[in-house]
Structure 1
Amino acid sequence: MDEFGVYALFGVDGPAQRLLSTDGSVRVCVAVPAYVRQVVLFSSGPWGDRICASAELNDADGIPITIGKLTPYNRCLSWEQWEEETWTDSVTLNITLEGGSLTKADRSEVILAVKEYTPKDTAAPLAAQEINRKRKRGQGAEGVSNENSATKREEEENVCPNGTVEKTTPVRKARGQTKAGQKLFSSVGDATNMKGTANGAVEAQGIVGRTPPRSAVRTKSRQAKTPTQTTPLVSPSGRWGQTLCPIDPQTAILIGGQGARMQFCKDPMWKLCTEDMSWVAAETLAEGPTPEARIGHTAVYDPNSKRIFVFGGSKNKKWFNDVHILDTQSWKWTMVEAQGKVPPLAYHSCSLFRGELFVLGGVFPRPNPEPDGCSDSLYIFDPHLSIWYEPIVTGVQPSPRSGHSACVMQERKIYVFGGWDTPVCYNDMYMLDLGLMEFSAVKTTGKAPSPRSWHGSAVLSDTKFLIHGGYNGNNALSDAFIFDIDTNSWTEVSLPQLSVPRAGHSLITMDIAPRHTFSEDDDVDTNTSRTLLVFGGGDNEGNFYSDLTTVAMEELLCAI
């Protein structure tokens, strides 16, 4: 096959079928037969100047079930019915080719039918049959299946802290969604902490896909939900659970996240240029195998090797313990074949110290009937040896938790704050002395932040770091606090830029050029060129933010 083409396999016994070719249309729609339980999409031949092929599996209402992209460096995608929660018998596959020499005729859409063939076994595997039975709605005794489906779905991802029934303003449901509502955080917690509702669904403080609850007075801050159209985006779609990683004073890299209707963002990677605060889609800029879509992962930049390390996270029922490295000089992805053992983790913290990654806590999957649980372990990854190990740690360790924050201060201490482990939400503080490898509980003074998880944190100076927003088990939060490690004291700050309730968002600080020019005689602190940036997150009522907010460091510190 010397010519370029996009092909698909519908089922394990089906023949490969060409959907797009060099001289054909760049957009195709295929109805997936009801007996098909697997779809494999791949390309063959030289890509030339083509950029990517965007693929969507849509339900009967045109709502994406799952999304993905073929690129010159990622030439194969696969989906299985039992991995996608809303796969039904009326699924369509839509593919759009971007880039290349496109004529007007090329832009038309072609509707294809899957070639007829007789499968060796048209019956769905047992797991798929059981899932389909659970999804059927409403007739007689089958009404119980909605409860089973909702419970199963909530046990597959993260449950929010405090397993009480949430009392919030009702949210418009997406088609096919259970009455439990679309929430930001889905469950990994103990099912005994979940309380059933009268309609048979189970509410457990969250299903991944919704963000923490917004106040009615904040509606003006709502951003557009993740778009499903294929028109090019000029900025990232709304999302939560992403990472935003600064690599130099002019650039930060956005990776991953999840948006509306529990859909993983099909624009998973962006480059932020701080000179004019503009975004550039960056998924196709880097060579090599890109990390699979995910949330709850971490991304840490090493200024010495000029590499970004992406670790862990989750996607639906998949959990990751892989390490992906992006070399920001060659713009090439590599996946590490690491030695040693580290469990799949999501919503952990990851800190860089002397070239090594310190991974603490997080949620990890456990097989049924045990629910997924939180970790209190510390793992270290050595990039030079590509090995994981558990260090010997003394002192009083933090209890198991996830959704917490960790700030490296003065290159010798890691401060760990908050997080949750069902049904408890925390606002305690621990410090890890990186010289002694000793944990200690920090006794603080002043008004401390209330218990929370999925909050944002950022180092402001050698002695101060910021905690903002988060989720307390019932609502998204909009308050902000600064902690001083010299005095072990909290101070609440109030700024209009930080007044929007949000959780699962990103906070970073960057040394970008100040907006004002000062003379040499002006008494200006050296932090005036440092800026706090806030991106994304959501309000737990189905709204996902795509705004980028900036706060001058001078203004922030003066608010203390």
Structure 2
Amino acid sequence: MDEFGVYAVFGVNGPPQRLLRAEGSCRVCVAVPPSVRQVVLFSSGQWGDRVCVNAELNDADRTPITIGKLTPYNRCLSWEQWEEETWTDSVTLNVALEGGDLTKADWSEPELILAVKEYTPKDTVAPVAARDLKGKRKRKRDRAAEEEDDNKVPKTEEEENTSSDSSEEKATPVRKIRGQTKCGQKLFSGGAAGETQGIVGKTPPQSAARTKSRQAKTPTQTAPLLSPSGRWGQTLCPIDAQTAILIGGQGARMQFCKDPMWKLCTEDLSWVAAETLAEGPTPEARIGHTAIYDSDSKRIFVFGGSKNKKWFNDVHILDTQSWKWTMVEARGNVPPLAYHSCSMFRGELFVLGGVFPRPNPEPDGCSDSLYIFDPQLSVWYQPIVTGDQPSPRSGHSACVMQERKIYVFGGWDTPVCYNDMYMLDLGLMEFSAVKTTGKAPSPRSWHGSAVLSDTKFLIHGGYNGNNALSDAFVFDIDTNSWTEVTLPQLSVPRAGHSIVTMETAGCSRFPEDVEVNAGSVGNTLLVFGGGDNEGNFYSDLTTVAVEELLAAIQRG
């Protein structure tokens, strides 16, 4: 079968139904039979110059429940009702083709296919009923109200299944919690969030921060995106001095980003959509995962994360030389984890903490265990660790210093936020609590961290259970001291964002009062995305010269 087509299977016993064909409409909407609890979407035949097929499951109010994308390298999607908590009995499947010959396409309205009987194939297209057209006009009148709903912040994974006495639920970045009262009232870790509305994909005010990218278009727009959509819970992974790879993330209304993978070029701070650039099966949409680059093997390792009520313990590897994804069939046991930390040391992945799911209906718990993945043997193992080990937590940070120590800061374990510091000696495999001096950051999780030098690393922003934070602190491992730094580029409250340091050529993008010679190479701090607990998910890219940060420490 060489002719291109997109097919769907509704229910475990249903036959394939053709939705899109080589010649025909580029968009279609299918009513899912009420008793169906599983949907499979797949393509068949030669893709040619077709780019992808966007897919959405929508509820009765046409609110996206979950999204996905077929590509020439990822030709099948599946959904199950018990993985999607908002699945109702009035679900529609919307698919739209991008690329190929679209000259005859009519993008004004999708065609509507009505499934008359469950498990009965139906290729004919039914005309849109008059009441449907009226419904569309009504939806246009109500669009303003719907857009307000779009900007509510989703809930966090750790809280979504946490039980309490209150029945009220509000949105936070991944999961829902009922009535959390301590350190968990709004955004990324504890409960209610997003009562005030904002703009999805918003760039912070220029007066508050110096942003370095255009405002991103929202995923629902048909125009090609020039930069990533607003999101939190993603990873930004540098692979060389000029390139970083953005993977995953989630925006408003708990929607996983339709543009999950981007390549950032630091020479001109430009973005390139990269999902279709790599061959092989791409990781399923997720947040709270980790992505780390091994400079020796030139590979990115993606581990864990979550999608709604689904946790992952898979390992995906992107070879940045061949640009091919592979999924590892690993031996050994590691639990599904999200919001853990992952550090690379001597070619192995050190995974600490995180949220792991317990059997329903018990709430989720946090891990205090250390797991190591050996890529050479494709095996997970737990090392023997001594000393004063950190308590269970998630949303913490971990910085590898001087290639022999991992510093662990902060995190969250319902209902407590932490601001303690632990150090793991990688030679002795011994944990110790670090006694610090100076003004320490307040308790927080989902903050950003980055290594600035051999002896210093940065902590910025995060979530304290009520608010997103905008402060920044530098820790010196030689003196075990904290220093608070204040810079306009880091003044916007955000959590669930990404911070990395990269070597970039000196250019005029650095602040005027920072001396950087033209043509020289220096370290630059890059801050991307995150949310502010007020309904805003950022798509901006902010740069700060590390020299400026270090100078601010001296001034402080």
Task: Report SS of the residue matched to 2:12.
Answer: coil
Alpha-carbon offset, residue 40 of structure 1 = 1.2
Task: Report SS of the residue matched to 1:478.
Answer: strand
1:449 corresponds, among 435, 438, 441, to 441
2:401 corresponds, among 383, 404, 409, to 409
2:541 corresponds, among 548, 552, 555, to 548
The aligned counterpart of 1:423 is 415
Q: Residues 457, 165 of structure 1: CA spacing in aligned structure 2 closer, same or farther, 3 A cutoff?
A: farther
Q: Residues 205, 517 of structure 1: CA spacing in aligned structure 2 closer, same or farther, 3 A cutoff?
A: closer
The aligned counterpart of 2:307 is 315
**CA displacement 1:330-363 (0-9 Å, x = unmatched):** 0000000000000000000000000000000001
The aligned counterpart of 2:277 is 285
Determine if contact 2:188/2:446 at 8 Å carries over to the other structure: no
Deviates more, 1:524-533 or 1:234-243: 524-533
**CA displacement 1:177-231 (0-9 Å, x = unmatched):** x96332225257xx7x8359xxxxx98975799679999xx97479778432333
Task: Report SS of the residue matched to 2:157.
Answer: coil
2:250 corresponds, among 250, 258, 274, to 258
CA distance in 2, matches of 1:205, 1:458: 20
CA distance in 1, matches of 2:197, 2:30: 39
The aligned counterpart of 1:157 is 157
Q: Confirm or deny that 1:486 pairs with 2:475.
A: no
Task: Report SS of the residue matched to 1:558.
Answer: helix
2:290 corresponds, among 276, 284, 298, to 298
1:194 corresponds, among 180, 189, 202, to 180
The aligned counterpart of 1:504 is 496
Q: Residues 210, 546 of structure 1: CA spacing in aligned structure 2 closer, same or farther, 3 A cutoff?
A: farther
Aligned ranges for residues 318-397 of structure 1 at < 5 Å? 318-397=310-389
CA distance in 2, matches of 1:517, 1:164: 49
CA distance in 2, matches of 1:435, 1:211: 45
Alpha-carbon offset, residue 83 of structure 1 = 2.0
Alpha-carbon offset, residue 59 of structure 1 = 2.3
Q: Confirm or deny that 1:271 pairs with 2:263.
A: yes
Alpha-carbon offset, residue 117 of structure 1 = 3.5
Task: Report SS of the residue matched to 1:47.
Answer: coil
CA distance in 2, matches of 1:310, 1:391: 21
The aligned counterpart of 2:170 is 181
Q: Residues 207, 289 of structure 1: CA spacing in aligned structure 2 closer, same or farther, 3 A cutoff?
A: farther
**CA displacement 1:159-190 (0-9 Å, x = unmatched):** 29x99999xxxxxxxxxxx96332225257xx
TM-score, with structure 2 as normaliser: 0.84
CA distance in 1, matches of 2:85, 2:524: 41
Alpha-carbon offset, residue 293 of structure 1 = 0.4
Q: Confirm or deny that 1:243 pairs with 2:224.
A: no
The aligned counterpart of 2:147 is none
Determine if contact 2:245/2:262 at 8 Å carries over to the other structure: yes
CA distance in 1, matches of 2:40, 2:350: 37
CA distance in 2, matches of 1:212, 1:552: 35
Determine if contact 2:173/2:187 at 8 Å carries over to the other structure: no
Q: Confirm or deny that 1:33 pairs with 2:33.
A: yes
Q: Residues 213, 389 of structure 1: CA spacing in aligned structure 2 closer, same or farther, 3 A cutoff?
A: farther
Gaps of 5+ in 2: 121-153, 209-214
Q: Residues 89, 164 of structure 1: CA spacing in aligned structure 2 closer, same or farther, 3 A cutoff?
A: closer
Aligned ranges for residues 429-468 of structure 1 at < 5 Å? 429-468=421-460
The aligned counterpart of 1:557 is 550
Q: Residues 99, 422 of structure 1: CA spacing in aligned structure 2 closer, same or farther, 3 A cutoff?
A: same
Determine if contact 1:185/1:208 at 8 Å carries over to the other structure: no
The aligned counterpart of 1:469 is 461
CA distance in 2, matches of 1:535, 1:517: 16
Determine if contact 2:241/2:503 at 8 Å carries over to the other structure: yes
Deviates more, 1:378-387 or 1:359-368: 359-368
Determine if contact 1:29/1:109 at 8 Å carries over to the other structure: no
Q: Residues 185, 71 of structure 1: CA spacing in aligned structure 2 closer, same or farther, 3 A cutoff?
A: closer
**CA displacement 1:457-483 (0-9 Å, x = unmatched):** 000001100000001111110000000
CA distance in 1, matches of 2:297, 2:83: 37
**Letter of the structure 2 residue corresponding to residue 182 of structure 1:** A
CA distance in 2, matches of 1:48, 1:523: 48
- In percent, how many aligned pairs have the same letter? 78
Q: Residues 109, 23 of structure 1: CA spacing in aligned structure 2 closer, same or farther, 3 A cutoff?
A: farther
Determine if contact 2:280/2:325 at 8 Å carries over to the other structure: yes
Q: Residues 260, 449 of structure 1: CA spacing in aligned structure 2 closer, same or farther, 3 A cutoff?
A: same
Q: Residues 165, 451 of structure 1: CA spacing in aligned structure 2 closer, same or farther, 3 A cutoff?
A: farther
The aligned counterpart of 1:136 is none
Q: Confirm or deny that 1:89 pairs with 2:95.
A: no
CA distance in 1, matches of 2:105, 2:423: 63
Tell me the C-alpha RMSD between the 2 structures: 3.3
Q: Confirm or deny that 1:6 pairs with 2:3.
A: no
**Letter of the structure 2 residue corresponding to residue 80 of structure 1:** E
Alpha-carbon offset, residue 234 of structure 1 = 0.9
Q: Residues 234, 194 of structure 1: CA spacing in aligned structure 2 closer, same or farther, 3 A cutoff?
A: same
Determine if contact 1:156/1:317 at 8 Å carries over to the other structure: no
Determine if contact 1:209/1:261 at 8 Å carries over to the other structure: no
**Runs of 4+ with >6 A deviation:** 162-166, 202-205, 211-215, 221-225, 522-528
Determine if contact 1:195/1:203 at 8 Å carries over to the other structure: no
The aligned counterpart of 1:68 is 68
Q: How many pairs are equivalent?
A: 503
Gaps of 5+ in 1: 121-153, 167-177, 197-201
Alpha-carbon offset, residue 14 of structure 1 = 2.6
Task: Report SS of the residue matched to 1:559.
Answer: helix
**Letter of the structure 2 residue corresponding to residue 194 of structure 1:** Q
CA distance in 1, matches of 2:289, 2:345: 18
CA distance in 2, matches of 1:89, 1:305: 48
Q: Residues 155, 23 of structure 1: CA spacing in aligned structure 2 closer, same or farther, 3 A cutoff?
A: closer
TM-score, with structure 1 as normaliser: 0.83
Deviates more, 1:340-349 or 1:528-537: 528-537
Task: Report SS of the residue matched to 1:158.
Answer: helix
Deviates more, 1:57-66 or 1:522-531: 522-531
The aligned counterpart of 1:536 is 529
Determine if contact 1:6/1:42 at 8 Å carries over to the other structure: yes
CA distance in 1, matches of 2:315, 2:99: 30
Alpha-carbon offset, residue 311 of structure 1 = 0.2
Task: Report SS of the residue matched to 1:34.
Answer: coil
CA distance in 2, matches of 1:417, 1:527: 33
